[in-house]
């Protein structure tokens, strides 16, 4: 907001010099690169963050979404699926997998993820309606 991304980048590089295996620093650097439209560098930093901190669902989510925005959809789905396997109760991961799989026409995966989402919050009408709609569309 203050136009000091260059200063931030210098600080992040300094942090990496001290703690090169810190997933959070790589994640923040990746977000900085996204903001600067430096997507190859962003993807590298976000991938590294997800690798270094697999227990942080957000890192896998952000990396998967960034991959999806750049085009390798199969790779994005693989990253999101892996993160969802490690974090089976993360609704953001599941919702994203529902949307991406639906858009790419993989309705079996869409229904599977929608079922998981609906089971997480059984009283949620929106999730139930989504699942019912998907089952109607796919005949399942």
- Report the alpha-carbon distance of residue 101 to residue 107 in Å, rounded: 7
Provide the pLDDT confidence category of residue 26 given band limits of 50, 70 and 90: very high
Contacts of 61 (CB under 8 A, 6+ apart): 80, 83, 90, 92, 93, 96
Is the model's pLDDT at 1 over the cut of 60? no
- Report the alpha-carbon distance of residue 107 to residue 98 in Å, rounded: 9
CATH architecture of 1-71: Alpha Horseshoe (1.25)
94-126 pLDDT per residue, tens: 999 999 999 999 989 999 999 999 999 888 898
Provide the pLDDT confidence category of residue 5 given band limits of 50, 70 and 90: low
What does the domain layout of the chain look like in residue ranges? 1-71, 88-140
Tokens of 136: 């109607």
- Tokens 């959070």, residue? 24
Percent of the chain with pLDDT over 90: 77
pLDDT for 140 equals 63
- Report the alpha-carbon distance of residue 91 to residue 117 in Å, rounded: 6
37-58 pLDDT per residue, tens: 999 999 999 999 999 999 999 9
pLDDT for 130 equals 87
- pTM reported for the whole predicted model: 0.89
- Report the alpha-carbon distance of residue 95 to residue 133 in Å, rounded: 15
């Amino acid at each position: 907001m203050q136009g000091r991304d260059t200063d931030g980048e210098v600080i992040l590089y300094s942090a990496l010099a001290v703690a090169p295996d810190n997933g959070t620093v790589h994640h923040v650097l990746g977000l900085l690169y996204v903001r600067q439209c430096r997507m190859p560098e962003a993807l590298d930093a976000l991938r590294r963050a997800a690798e270094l901190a697999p227990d942080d669902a957000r890192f896998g989510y952000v990396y998967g979404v960034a991959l999806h925005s750049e085009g390798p959809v199969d790779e994005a789905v693989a990253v999101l699926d892996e993160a969802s396997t490690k974090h089976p109760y993360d609704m953001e991961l599941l919702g994203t997998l529902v949307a991406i799989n639906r858009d790419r026409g993989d309705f079996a995966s869409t229904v599977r993820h929608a079922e998981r989402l609906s089971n997480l919050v059984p009283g949620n009408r929106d999730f139930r309606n989504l699942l019912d709609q998907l089952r109607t569309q796919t005949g399942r």
